Structure 1
Amino acid sequence: MTIESGAPVVVGVDGSAAALDAVRVATREAAYRRRSLRVVHAFHWPLAVAPLGLVPAVPADDSLRREAERVAAEAAAEAGKIDPEVPVTAVVIDGAPTPVLLDEARDAALVVLGHRGLGGFAGLLIGSVTVQVSARAECPVLVVRGEPRADGPVVVGVDGSALSTEAVAFAFEEAARRDAPLVAVHAWLDPAPVAPGDLIPMMYDLTALGEDEERVLAESVAGWAERYPEVSVRHRLVRGAAAPVLVAESASAQLVVVGAHGRGALGGLLLGSVSHALLHHAHAPLAIVRHRRTADAA
C-alpha cells in the first residue's frame, strides 16, 4: 500500500476498551485513505490540595508518565495487528483531552474517538470529551461504538442546510472508498415555528409539502451523484422526526453521517438535536461533520 503525504487520521486513546475499538476502526480508516495513523494520549497531572489552592500533584517518580506511554504504545500495537502496512505514530501530549484533541484536529483528515472512555460515568452513554470534540473539531469526527459491521450502506442525513451539504459530500467520499451503496435520508414534519412570532397556517397542502421536501433531498444529492457515478444511491423520504428515523437506519448501516447542526439547530447548542441523539443511540459508527478536509487540501 502506498501512503500519501498529508493529514493523518488521529485517534484518541485513554486505555479504555472503547478507545481500543476506536483504534481498530481508525486503522481501517487510515488504510482507506492511504494515510498514516497518529495515536494520541492526552496526559495531565492529577491535582492536589495545597494551602494556596490546587496545584499539580507531581509524584516522586515518573510512574504516571510511564503508564501514559504504555497506553499509547499498546494502542499503536493494536493498530499494527489490524493493518501492519499503515504507518503509526504514538504520542503522549501534556494537557486535558478536549483541547489536545481539538488542536490535533486542525491538521487531521479525521479524528476517531470511542463513545466513552475511562472518564465516563456509568450512567452516561457518551463521554463529555466525545461530545465537545465532535461539536468543535476542524475536521470530521468519527465516533465508534464496538466493532462495526463490514457490509451495509453508508447512511447520510439530509436537511438542505450548509452542514448537511458537507455531510453529503463526506458520505459520498466514504461510500466510494468502501465500495458501498449510499442511502440519503430526509425526514420531515408538519410545519412548526422556528422563531418567536412565526405564524403557521391553519391549513396546508401535505402533498405540496411532500413534493417540496422531495426536492430538498434530490437537490442535496444531485451534484454529488454526478461526481461519484460509481456510487449506488437510494433516496429515502420519511415523514417523521429525523433522529429516530436515522437511528433505525443505522441498524443496517456500516456508517452514518450527519452535520453537526441542521436547519433547526440553535446557535448556543454544542450539537444539533439530531446529531446529539445519534451520538447516544446509533448502532453504527457515526461521522459528525463541521468541516470537511478534502484529499487535495489535506
Structure 2
Amino acid sequence: MTVEIPEPGVVVGADGSEHGIAALRWAAATAVAYGLPLTVLHARPDAIAEPTLLAEPDGVLGDAVAVARAEYPGLQTRALQMPDAPVQSLLAAGEEADIVVIGSRGIEGFRGLLLGSTTMHVAPYAQCPVVVVHSALEGGVLFEASDGYPGNPGQVVLGYDGSPAANRAAAFAFRHAEAIGCGVVAVTVEAGRGDPEAEPIDPENATPGSDTSAFHSPVIVTASSFPDVPVSFVAGYGRPAEVLLTQAISAELLVVGSRGSGGFAGLIMGSVSQKVLAHASCPVAVLHPGIPAETASGMA
C-alpha cells in the first residue's frame, strides 16, 4: 500500500509505550534539526480502511501528537493512521520518508520490536534509514566499558567495514552530524576474542594506494561533501559489537549497515545487532545497501 503524504519527512511509529515516547521525542528533535515535518504513524489494522491523515487524532495517536506539539510548537506535525500491521505500515511510509524512527520495545502491534519480527523486517527492507531508539533510553541496561572508557560524547559514531551497506551508513552519519552540529568518528574493527581495543588512525594522510588509504577512501570522499563536519578515524580490535558499544558510549547516534563483511556479517539477524540495539547508550541507525545514496545523504 502506497502512502501519499506531501513531504512525510521524519516518520515515527507511535504505540503508547515508554519506548515509543522516547522514539517520538528523538524523532521530533531530529525533524527540527533537519528542517523537516514530523509524521506520527499509528497502525490500526482494518481491511476496508485507507491511510488517513487526521486533523484531530485521539487515543494513542492523539497523545503522541500532543507530546510533539507541546515540546516543539513550531514543528509541522501530522497524525497518520494506517490500516495495516506495523511492519507493512512502516515500510509503506518509509518509501517516501527521509527517516523512519521506532522504539525498541512496545505494546500492541510493536511488541517484541527488539528481538521480534518488526526490527528484522523493517530495518533490512525500509527504503530509508531506520533509527531504533532502544531500551537503554527507558530503563534498560547501558553498556559500560570495563576500563571506564569515555566513548565519544556528542559525536556520531559510524561502524565501517567497507561493505555497500556501510557506505550508505557513512552517508547518513555525515548527514546527521551536519544537521545537529557535531563530528563523525569512523570505527573499523578487526575481529578477535580479546578485550576491546582501539587507537586513532589517520587514513587521510596514509600513502596513496595503500590498504589503509584504499579501504577508507569511500568515507573520505563522503566527508568531502560535508566540509563542516569534523571526521576522525579509529581502528578497533575485539568482538565487533563490544568495540562499537564502547566507542558509542554517550554518542549522539551509532550508525551501521544492515549486512557487512568480516566482523559485521549478519548485523541485523545475528547477535551483533541484538547486543548493539539492546545495550548501546545512544539510538542506533541501520541502513541496507539498497537505500539510494541520495536518500542516505539527504542530497536527493
TM-score, with normalisation over the residues of structure 1?
0.75
2:260 matched residue in structure 1 = 262
CA distance in 2: counterparts of 1:266 and 1:160, whole angstroms: 12
Letter in 1 for 2:94: A
CA distance in 1: counterparts of 2:282 and 2:85, whole angstroms: 28
CA distance in 2: counterparts of 1:214 and 1:81, whole angstroms: 49
CA distance in 2: counterparts of 1:74 and 1:244, whole angstroms: 37
Letter in 1 for 2:219: V
1:156-195 alignment runs, 5 A limit: 156-189=158-191
| The one of 278, 283, 286 aligned to 1:285 | 283
Alignment: residue pair count: 249
1:20 matched residue in structure 2 = 21
Shift of 1:235: 0.6
Shift of 1:212: 6.9
| Deviation readout 1:11-63 (Å, 9 max, x if unpaired) | 00111111111111110111111111111110136xxxxxxxxxx9xxxxxxx
CA distance in 2: counterparts of 1:161 and 1:142, whole angstroms: 19
| The one of 286, 295, 298 aligned to 2:298 | 295
Structure 2 portions without partners, runs of 5+? 1-5, 48-56, 143-152, 193-208
CA distance in 2: counterparts of 1:278 and 1:37, whole angstroms: 26
2:94 matched residue in structure 1 = 105
Return closer, same or farther for 1:87/1:255 CA change in 2, 3 Å cut-off: same
1:197 matched residue in structure 2 = none
1:1-298 alignment runs, 5 A limit: 6-44=7-45, 69-119=58-108, 125-145=114-134, 146=137, 152-189=154-191, 214-215=212-213, 217-264=215-262, 271=269, 274-290=272-288, 291-292=291-292, 293=295, 294-297=297-300
Larger radius of gyration: 1
CA distance in 2: counterparts of 1:166 and 1:125, whole angstroms: 23
Shift of 1:274: 3.5
CA distance in 1: counterparts of 2:178 and 2:268, whole angstroms: 30
Shift of 1:216: 5.4
- Maintained 8 Å contact 1:115/1:127: no
- Maintained 8 Å contact 1:135/1:271: no
CA distance in 1: counterparts of 2:283 and 2:71, whole angstroms: 18
Return closer, same or farther for 1:257/1:26 CA change in 2, 3 Å cut-off: same
Letter in 1 for 2:43: A
Shift of 1:132: 2.1
- Maintained 8 Å contact 2:114/2:274: no
1:51 matched residue in structure 2 = none
| Deviation readout 1:109-148 (Å, 9 max, x if unpaired) | 00000111014778x8545323321122111001113279
